[in-house]
Amino acid sequence: MDLQYQEAFTKLEQNPTGVFEEAIRLLCKIGENILKNPLKSNIRVLKKSNDTIANKILGVKGGKECLILMGFEEKPTSFVMNINVPIKHLEEFMESAKSWKQRVQQKYTLDTGSISHSQVPSSSQTKNNNQQDTNDVIRKLKLPPLQTTHSNVFLRSLEIFSHGVLQYEDKTLKERTRKLIPISILEENAQKRLRLVQTHIKKNNLEDPDISIQDMMILELLQWFKVDFFVWVDSPPCEFCGESTKFSHMSTDPKLLLYTDRVELHRCKHCHKFTPFPRYNDLNILLETRRGRCGEWANTFTLCCCSLGWDSRYVVDEGDHVWTEVYSTTQKRWLHCDPCENLCDTPLVYESGWNKKISYVMAYSPEEIQDVTWRYSSNHKDVLKRRTACSEVELLQAIFKIRSNLQKNLSPSRKKYLLKRNLMELAEFLVEKKAKTDDFQGRISGSEIWRISRGEVQSAAQSQHVWQIKHEDIIDNSVTIRYSVALNTYEYISGNKTIKKLMGWENGTFEFKEVFRKEENDWNMVYLARKKSEEKGSLSWKFDFTESNKSLQTVVVQTDQKTYETGIVNVRICTNDNCVILPKDKLFTTNDFSGSNELIITATLSGGKGDTAWQHAQLFRQSLDSTEFNFNITFTFK
């Protein structure tokens, strides 16, 4: 097989197997359509805005590279295959893709046949073809026998959850997890966040807070986990035809229940066949599948936190949601972390923003169990009225018993530390917290320092990042820098190769003032906007070509803007002696800056009416689950 094919398919294989197979299926289907109608031009154009293309090919590792290998050329808004691409080339690609897919299926299918390739996807870290090694990877973790002592359903659930989190103690599992986390990149970004906080404090003479690199790392880990690592699944695509499915019922087939006791069956809306979707609790398997809903997300994210050496807890709300708590050693308190929502330190968001009726919220770790309900409600009296699963005395007795059993083998010094920390936490619960505006909107709350670290509070121009376009980076005489507000990520690309990836909208800007990233969880939308209290916000990006050893020829810019009422978004490109205003919602191409050594693109947000005027000028608005990059700048050189 051609080396280029091997590199692209190896990268594609790094995705969960279900995602990998769906991408291969779509690529082959596109190829088949072209082979059937080789002279039909419209089937040779794949629009980037198409949800299937964006999410199932461009949104996965290696997908774009495969399109290029097929013979497609990337344009600003689409991928186009020239009529001159040989049919033989397309047939060769499809044959190689199907062969690779078959190899992967054979590699990871168990000898027992009880689990199909679609149920336990392959890992990007599993390189050994030996079948025994594969079985080791997906084996269930061995835990001590579970012994329940309560007949009360709720109290028995405390014992079950306390037993399940013992997985976090497995040293081999934690070591494997650490290898999956890009720790050095997260640490570098965390340092930038911390410096941003320190700069703000210095300029505004604020009191230096008790905040550390660990606190910033938590924010980085949340971002990475949601954007790059885990995938949300409501209903999986049909494993037979790839179309959408809908939940039908729970399976009772013992062959499907080998690794879990819960397997959903989703019926295809097209071919009506059933696709199983296992709901795994076993973390060794979840590191393979990397997909699910809030249970799988929180369970795996808590493991990631434990693998970094942080005291972490798996938090269960009886109102059907789960998340994580991480103990900040600097702030000496537990921080709420929701990986599904990428939220940190917003404990009242469920009650105030989601309108959940809080009753019991329990936190579990291998060392303790704690009733943390009071952290997540601003009305303790109402909560008490809803706590009818058992008496408060019975609950306390069950907690003390489980906690004593978990800590029986700990050292006296560790027990003393945990007791002191527990008492401090109980004292925190004595005071009701009041919901802030941010809690109602689902945005970051907590101290001002948290908002500063997220780039949501500014009083002066910040960042000073410059995109240096270097000679060695330029392939085929062009480079592209793009940003997705949903992913909150920049990519620096040339010749279909990602040279640099930068997380955080503010980290790629040259200057920004009075701007923040707004998530609308109720509408499932996200965008950049000016601060609510300000009449104007601005941000700019700077590009330096002095080390390119080439002459700039053409600039192509795509930027999405949304305005309402009298809102105004103004975007312009400038050099020292020339400025051009970009038209709204149009792909803009210009040669006016030919030969320039640097450029600055600046966006200003202003106007609007009433109390929500700040929302009437929006930049890069898109759905929260989008994988599309809607801010693209391409430079071509002579």
- Residues with a catalytic annotation lie at 294, 321, 338
Cα distance between residue 583 and residue 572, in whole Å: 9
Cα distance between residue 623 and residue 55, in whole Å: 12
β-strand partners of 539: 512, 603
How far the first Cα of the chain sits from its last, in Å, is 35
Cα distance between residue 233 and residue 230, in whole Å: 10
For residue 474 the two structure tokens come to 């330029």
Secondary structure class of 554 (helix, strand, coil):
strand
Q: Are 406 and 368 in contact (CB under 8 A)?
A: yes
Which residue, 495, 492, 629, is CA-closest to 4? Answer: 495
Helix axes 17-36, 3-13, angle to 10 degrees: 130
For residue 415 the two structure tokens come to 């027990």
Which residue, 161, 122, 163, 127, is CA-closest to 143? Answer: 163
Our separate counts of H helices and E strands in the chain read 17, 31
Q: What's the CA angle centered on 519, arms 518 and 524, to 5 degrees? A: 145
Q: In one letter, which amino acid is 579?
A: C
SS3 readout for 112-162: CCCCCCCCCCCCCCCCCCCHHHHHHHCCCCCCCCCCCCCCCHHHHHHHHHH
Q: Are 369 and 362 in contact (CB under 8 A)?
A: yes
Cα distance between residue 337 and residue 298, in whole Å: 9
